[in-house]
Chain A
Amino acid sequence: MLAPLFLSLAVAGPAQRFVDVHPASSTIRSGDGRLLVHASGFLAANPGRTPESAARNFLSTHGGAFGVAATQELVLRQAPAPGLVGAVRLERTVAGLPVFGGDVVVGVDAQSRVFLVNTREVAQTPSGRHALGEAAAVGSVLSSLPADARGTLPVAVAAGWRSVLGSLRAVYRVDLIVEQPSGSWRVFVDAETGSAVFRESLRYSLAERGNVYSVSPAETSDSLCPLSGKGHTLCASPVNVTIPNLVTGADLRGTQATVSNCNGADFPNRPGAACNSVPALTGNNFNYAADSPLFTSTTDNFSAVMAYFHLDKHVSFFKTLDPTLPGGTLFAVNGSLPAFVNVRSGGQSFENAFYDGIIDAMVFGQGAHADYAYDATVMYHELTHGVVQAWGGFDLTIDALGSVFEGAGLNEGTADSMAVSETGRSALGAFLGATETPPVPSFRDMNDPDATRSCQGNGSQVSQFGVSNAINGLNGEEHSDGEIWNGFYWEIFQGLRAAGVKGCGGSCDAGPEIQYKALQLAAGPAAPTFNTYWQTFKAAAAALFPQQPFVAEYVGCVAKRRKMDSCDRTVPVYAGETKLQLVRLRYSPFQTVIPATAATGVIVCSNGGAPSLFYARKDQPVKLGTPDPTTGDATVMADLGPLAVQKCSSVVTPFTLRSAGNWQVLLDLPGAFTGPGPGQELYLLAASASGIASRPAASAPSTCSAGPLAVIAPSTSVPPRGRLALSAAGGSNTGFSWSFTANRSGGSIDSTGAYTAGPTGSVTDTVKVIDSANGSATRDITVTAGVSISPASPSVGPKGTLTLTVSGGSGSGFTWSLTTNASGGSIVATSGVYTAGPAAGVTDVVGVTDSLGNTATANVSVRSTGGGCASGDARGPAFAAVLAAILLRRRRPRSASSGDAHP
């Protein structure tokens, strides 16, 4: 009779007190009835000024009702801004470690009144110690996997607590990705005993199959297709993959991406709108056919599947880099970013793709010769813009030196950097480049000469905006300026990879982990500049690799060699040089500096003839004061100006700089914000050949190295005739040349490190790279076995059937044929099922070719006597071999598998 009494006493505790105070509320109690796990339908006014303080005040009174105990500390994980309705998410910690699954979510309204609580029952008494250590916890998880699990990759381990049947056990939480059987798993391991207490799949969705290009029609996951002329060939075929993280599997709505098909219409202009949903085909798959080779369909659903797969993949990539996501407010890192495919504009083809920060969605155009969703690198790029925006954006502004526009270039550079980090190759948009007229190898390449320039430039003449002899450096066009960041990032990405520096506890490259952290640290405050961004990148490297200080030192060395530390929003222009500048935000994004040695002239003119003003100041920057709030015009401190800028023509009168000195020039486009659009104008500045200093000779660049010279290979084995894109890093980091020290396969390698194995299999090639300092490194590439047919010399009676099997080569795309058909027989091209003809005592020759063009033949003797029972002979040994292999694999000791996979 005591039990009911205890129960009623318990119920009369804090939970009952909450219900007494808020009798109209809806509540849900924990399994044992003691606590509340949900309450809503009430409104608790609090003295808290911010949502967080309101939530804390509320819990200081009623926390007991929800099991918040004195032993638990509540750490803020998320809160809405004051005045907004939202969730204050508090993580419970005990002894400084998180209680997994024990978050308390408090809903607050615009007046910071609490209207909801959600939580989970958490046992109060901690038990157990964290005795095992993280490494042993991971080991015990790996050894608990099925013996035939392959490709296990632990991605995160964390110590904490978990409520297990009435006690709060010390546990480790281990997240891992398993290739086969495919899954993402979260396993909680008892921190004392190592036994798994709970396992859940993080892919809580249906996984259907679908057809996609692994990168694009011009690029496979292993390599770019070969160049033919200037563009890459379209050698890649679609592959059938798992389409993960779908919500229902009926359409392309997922937990990380949501794609709809605009079927040639304009994209929606309102947040939350969508085009047509893309249904699964009969049999619950998305095996749509590619619109190849034309790529012009405005309705193909393949485009949508391609977008879904690669956007989901890039979100997963970001989550690998920082498992503490979600963060920020927008979809890219906190939900499911919408994307629209097959978009046209006003009935015309749309030759672009973009991320829109207001509708918070991505748009992929259907162009005249290409579908922009057929190139994964474009999608990785656009999604990264969404991630930058979600973390606060790289805002632009105007300050005393002019417009601060470098953030736009850094946004592009960051988007390119995260895209190539996913593919591991420096080229972006090989497919789109191949469809241009004339074709080009890519739309940008992190490794090309344009990406070696500095903000101030070195006087090299390049072609910009159709002008062929402009000096390089910043020009105010964000994609172009972004290449300065691209070159810097790519060198670091490659250098750290070559030096074997890994991030994410061993599961990712160091480069993208640093880049993502730098993005988070730079977004939000208005207007990052090249100078603040590289230093932010270096600080992120130092914080992420505290035990390897050479990482941050290497970053700093590369930044200085690329003159990131002199990115001060000026670009010098010497005697006879021409500089272009695009103004997008009313004032110049950088001031040109003209070192006059005497009175001299400078031509400044505009491309479009928009009313514009010229200002110059000797030996110091032109400075803007406070804009007049009524006119928007700032006061300008200058020695010369305002002078009207003429439209470029053959009769432009130069401006006179009246004495020797370093003259700084600022341009003003006063109509920028009054006309339609943000306004823009392109300006040309040509310095006189006399009365201006000549460009000084460049000093020899220093070298930076994260380690010794090394060859980087995406894989160390390749089938005969297969391709690998090799690259090098370390050493002097420049001037690489490639050769073979052993070429047993009969392969080839070009000046970019693109290696193609020869036709001979089961051999090892050795490639060599030499850098500009004459350092060298080699790497062995295993060329796997060529194509072979089994059985090798079969025999069969007239009209008998046998099933031939093939192994080796690329392992895919096999086609069978009869190269000699003496018996009058036949063979099924796709399966290798051979049927002899009626003629006996002859020999047929069967051939097979793989997807790379490797071939093999086998002689089949058609016996003069005997029946058609040979098929059993042919199948028997092969089947027995497969069975033996399965049995052997199952008997493999479990410790061996954990030993293999342990980092």
Chain B
Amino acid sequence: MIPILPLAAALIPAAVADFKADFPGASVAESPAGGRLTHASGFEARGFGDAPEAAARGFIARYGAAFGVGPGQELVVRGSPPKGGVGAVRFERRIEALPVFDADVVVGVDARSSIILVNAADVPLEVEGRHRASRSAAVRAAMAGLETSGAPRAQRGWRASGRTIRPVWRVDSIATRPSGAFRSYVDAETGKVLLRTDLRASKSRGPVPQR
């Protein structure tokens, strides 16, 4: 359990208001819970740095709270365009050195390293639960009902679930029945599957009847 500053949650509305006041022309999308911004574009924030990564870090240091970047989250750069390039500076969020899955923050820069866009996953501030379930227990929970052929891959991390961030195992496995490439998130405290998706993207409509 990571205690969060009691004031941190209250800071988000203020941070959002601050961003909107500084960039009144920006288009934003707000998360349906918590009021955090998940998208902002149609603005140009200059003067945060000459290089894309430095500019993006500077911008996040100033406005990150509006996008739910909270205390206790470390941002690790996963990719950045070259200087002078238009592109995405991609940050992975980490908590206690473990990744927060599906929670990247992408900061778009233009050729002058001005910030022009933010896409951020909707991640709450509060962290709850601890990593208790073993890898094998998590794999068992993820595999229930699936016939698999190879050894699954499991990685420890965190994932947003409702109003909190939960400790999870991310389990990837190829199943022969039903056929699919399944990614399951298993709560690492309770062993419950929180979410499961199929990473196979096909050409056609799959199991549902065609139009």
User: Could you tell me which A residues sit within 8 Å of B by CB distance?
Assistant: 50, 52, 75-79, 81-83, 91, 93, 96, 98, 269-270, 322, 324, 327-328, 345, 351-359, 372, 378, 381-382, 385, 388-389, 391-393, 395-401, 408, 411-412, 415, 429, 443, 462-466, 477, 479-480, 517, 520-529, 531-532, 535-536, 538-540, 542-544, 546, 582, 585, 621, 623-627, 629-632, 634, 672-680, 682
Query: What residues of B have a CB within 8 angstroms of the CB of A399 in the complex?
Result: 31-33, 122
A398-B195, A412-B201, A526-B103 are known contacts. Are A269 and B149 too (CB-CB below 8 A)?
Answer: yes
Query: What residues of B have a CB within 8 angstroms of the CB of A354 in the complex?
Result: 200-203
**Which residue of B92, B174, B178, B195 is within 8 Å of A676 (Cβ)?**
B178
Closest to B149 in A: A269
User: Would you give 29 A-B contacts (Cβ < 8 Å), ordered by A?
Assistant: A75-B51, A75-B83, A81-B99, A82-B76, A83-B97, A93-B83, A322-B87, A354-B201, A358-B172, A358-B183, A411-B201, A520-B87, A521-B87, A524-B104, A527-B121, A532-B119, A539-B108, A539-B116, A540-B108, A625-B162, A626-B164, A627-B161, A629-B129, A629-B187, A629-B190, A675-B145, A677-B175, A677-B178, A677-B198
User: Knowing that A396-B197, A626-B164 are A-B contacts, what are 17 other residue pairs whose CB atoms are under 8 Å apart, sorted by A's residue number?
Assistant: A269-B174, A270-B150, A354-B201, A357-B200, A358-B172, A399-B33, A429-B203, A443-B204, A463-B211, A479-B205, A480-B205, A521-B87, A539-B42, A542-B42, A629-B129, A677-B198, A678-B196
Which of B104, B146, B153, B197 lies at the interface centre, i.e. has the most chain A CB atoms within 10 A of its CB? B197
Query: Is A634 a contact partner of B162 (Cβ separation < 8 A)?
Result: yes
Distance A35 CA – B117 CA, assembled complex (angstroms): 43
Query: What residues of B have a CB within 8 angstroms of the CB of A542 in the complex?
Result: 42, 110, 116
Query: Is B144 a contact partner of A543 (Cβ separation < 8 A)?
Result: no
Query: Is B108 a contact partner of A96 (Cβ separation < 8 A)?
Result: no
Query: Is B181 part of the binding interface, using a Cβ–Cβ cutoff of 8 Å?
Result: yes
Query: Is B146 a contact partner of A522 (Cβ separation < 8 A)?
Result: no
Query: Is B49 part of the binding interface, using a Cβ–Cβ cutoff of 8 Å?
Result: no
Which of A82, A393, A678 lies at the interface centre, i.e. has the most chain B CB atoms within 10 A of its CB? A678
Query: What residues of A have a CB within 8 angstroms of the CB of B32 in the complex?
Result: 399-401, 621, 623
**Chain B 73-89 interface 0/1 with A at a Cβ cutoff of 8 Å (1 = within):** 00011111111011110
Query: What residues of B have a CB within 8 angstroms of the CB of A466 in the complex?
Result: 209
CB distance from B164 to the nearest CB of A (A): 6
Distance A534 CA – B144 CA, assembled complex (angstroms): 38
Query: Is A682 a contact partner of B31 (Cβ separation < 8 A)?
Result: no
Closest to A519 in B: B88
**Which 10 residue pairs are nearest across A and B when measured between Cβ atoms?**
A626-B162, A357-B199, A524-B104, A676-B145, A526-B102, A400-B33, A539-B41, A354-B202, A532-B39, A526-B121
Distance A540 CA – B42 CA, assembled complex (angstroms): 10
Distance A585 CA – B162 CA, assembled complex (angstroms): 15
Query: Is A50 a contact partner of B192 (Cβ separation < 8 A)?
Result: no
**Which residue of A322, A351, A382, A676 is within 8 Å of B177 (Cβ)?**
A676
Query: What residues of A have a CB within 8 angstroms of the CB of B120 in the complex?
Result: 525
A382-B203, A385-B201 are known contacts. Are A546 and B110 too (CB-CB below 8 A)?
Answer: yes
Closest to A377 in B: B203
Query: What residues of A have a CB within 8 angstroms of the CB of B6 in the complex?
Result: none
CB distance from A90 to the nearest CB of B (A): 12
**Chain B 170-197 interface 0/1 with A at a Cβ cutoff of 8 Å (1 = within):** 0011111111111110010110111111
Which of B109, B195, B203 lies at the interface centre, i.e. has the most chain A CB atoms within 10 A of its CB? B203
CB distance from A348 to the nearest CB of B (A): 12
Query: Is B80 a contact partner of A352 (Cβ separation < 8 A)?
Result: no
A392-B104, A677-B146 are known contacts. Are A345 and B119 too (CB-CB below 8 A)?
Answer: no
Query: What residues of B have a CB within 8 angstroms of the CB of A82 in the complex?
Result: 76, 94, 97
Query: Is B163 part of the binding interface, using a Cβ–Cβ cutoff of 8 Å?
Result: yes
**Chain B 111-132 interface 0/1 with A at a Cβ cutoff of 8 Å (1 = within):** 1000011011110000011000
Query: What residues of B have a CB within 8 angstroms of the CB of A429 in the complex?
Result: 203
Query: Is B27 part of the binding interface, using a Cβ–Cβ cutoff of 8 Å?
Result: yes
Distance A98 CA – B82 CA, assembled complex (angstroms): 10
Query: What residues of B have a CB within 8 angstroms of the CB of A464 in the complex?
Result: 211
CB distance from A565 to the nearest CB of B (A): 9
Query: Is A525 a contact partner of B146 (Cβ separation < 8 A)?
Result: no
Query: Is A359 a contact partner of B174 (Cβ separation < 8 A)?
Result: yes
Query: What residues of A have a CB within 8 angstroms of the CB of B196 in the complex?
Result: 672-673, 678-679
Query: Is B208 part of the binding interface, using a Cβ–Cβ cutoff of 8 Å?
Result: yes
CB distance from A139 to the nearest CB of B (A): 22
A536-B41, A676-B145 are known contacts. Are A543 and B193 too (CB-CB below 8 A)?
Answer: no
A359-B181, A626-B163 are known contacts. Are A632 and B194 too (CB-CB below 8 A)?
Answer: yes
CB distance from B58 to the nearest CB of A (A): 15
Main secondary structure of the interface of A (DSSP, over half): mixed
A76-B53, A327-B79, A443-B204 are known contacts. Are A525 and B181 too (CB-CB below 8 A)?
Answer: no
Query: Is A627 a contact partner of B162 (Cβ separation < 8 A)?
Result: yes
A327-B79, A623-B33 are known contacts. Are A520 and B88 too (CB-CB below 8 A)?
Answer: yes
A521-B106, A582-B208 are known contacts. Are A353 and B145 too (CB-CB below 8 A)?
Answer: no
Distance A634 CA – B120 CA, assembled complex (angstroms): 23
A539-B117, A627-B162 are known contacts. Are A352 and B203 too (CB-CB below 8 A)?
Answer: yes
Query: What residues of A have a CB within 8 angstroms of the CB of B82 in the complex?
Result: 75, 77, 91, 98, 324
Query: What residues of A have a CB within 8 angstroms of the CB of B99 in the complex?
Result: 81
Closest to B202 in A: A354
CB distance from B47 to the nearest CB of A (A): 17
Query: Is A324 a contact partner of B85 (Cβ separation < 8 A)?
Result: yes
**Which residue of A443, A522, A543, A626 is within 8 Å of B116 (Cβ)?**
A543
A324-B81, A443-B204, A625-B162 are known contacts. Are A674 and B144 too (CB-CB below 8 A)?
Answer: yes
Query: What residues of B have a CB within 8 angstroms of the CB of A395 in the complex?
Result: 102, 121, 197
Query: Is B195 a contact partner of A356 (Cβ separation < 8 A)?
Result: no
**Which residue of A91, A381, A463, A673 is within 8 Å of B203 (Cβ)?**
A381
**Chain B 30-67 interface 0/1 with A at a Cβ cutoff of 8 Å (1 = within):** 01110000110110000000110100000000000000
Distance A630 CA – B38 CA, assembled complex (angstroms): 28
Query: What residues of B have a CB within 8 angstroms of the CB of A400 in the complex?
Result: 31-33, 162
Query: What residues of B have a CB within 8 angstroms of the CB of A677 in the complex?
Result: 145-146, 175, 178, 180, 182, 198
Distance A83 CA – B94 CA, assembled complex (angstroms): 12
**Which residue of B31, B51, B161, B203 is within 8 Å of A353 (Cβ)?**
B203
Distance A721 CA – B182 CA, assembled complex (angstroms): 51
Closest to B192 in A: A632
Query: Is A96 a contact partner of B83 (Cβ separation < 8 A)?
Result: yes
CB distance from B43 to the nearest CB of A (A): 9
CB distance from B187 to the nearest CB of A (A): 5
Query: Is A522 a contact partner of B160 (Cβ separation < 8 A)?
Result: no
Query: What residues of A have a CB within 8 angstroms of the CB of B88 in the complex?
Result: 391, 520-521, 523-524
Query: What residues of B have a CB within 8 angstroms of the CB of A401 in the complex?
Result: 32
Query: Is B29 a contact partner of A529 (Cβ separation < 8 A)?
Result: yes
**Which residue of B39, B86, B129 is within 8 Å of A536 (Cβ)?**
B39
Distance A598 CA – B50 CA, assembled complex (angstroms): 61
Query: What residues of A have a CB within 8 angstroms of the CB of B198 in the complex?
Result: 677-678
Distance A429 CA – B203 CA, assembled complex (angstroms): 9
A382-B203, A415-B201, A625-B162 are known contacts. Are A521 and B29 too (CB-CB below 8 A)?
Answer: no
A359-B181, A627-B162, A674-B145 are known contacts. Are A521 and B108 too (CB-CB below 8 A)?
Answer: yes
CB distance from B197 to the nearest CB of A (A): 5
A76-B80, A673-B193, A678-B180 are known contacts. Are A356 and B174 too (CB-CB below 8 A)?
Answer: yes
Query: What residues of A have a CB within 8 angstroms of the CB of B202 in the complex?
Result: 352-355
Query: Is B27 a contact partner of A535 (Cβ separation < 8 A)?
Result: yes
Query: Is A535 a contact partner of B41 (Cβ separation < 8 A)?
Result: yes
CB distance from A764 to the nearest CB of B (A): 41
Query: Is B154 part of the binding interface, using a Cβ–Cβ cutoff of 8 Å?
Result: no
**Which residue of B117, B174, B195, B205 is within 8 Å of A673 (Cβ)?**
B195
Query: Is A357 a contact partner of B181 (Cβ separation < 8 A)?
Result: yes
Query: Is B38 a contact partner of A525 (Cβ separation < 8 A)?
Result: yes
**Which residue of A52, A270, A629 is within 8 Å of B192 (Cβ)?**
A629
Query: What residues of A have a CB within 8 angstroms of the CB of B16 in the complex?
Result: none
Query: Is B139 part of the binding interface, using a Cβ–Cβ cutoff of 8 Å?
Result: no
CB distance from A755 to the nearest CB of B (A): 30
Closest to B104 in A: A524
**Which residue of B86, B197, B208 is within 8 Å of A465 (Cβ)?**
B208
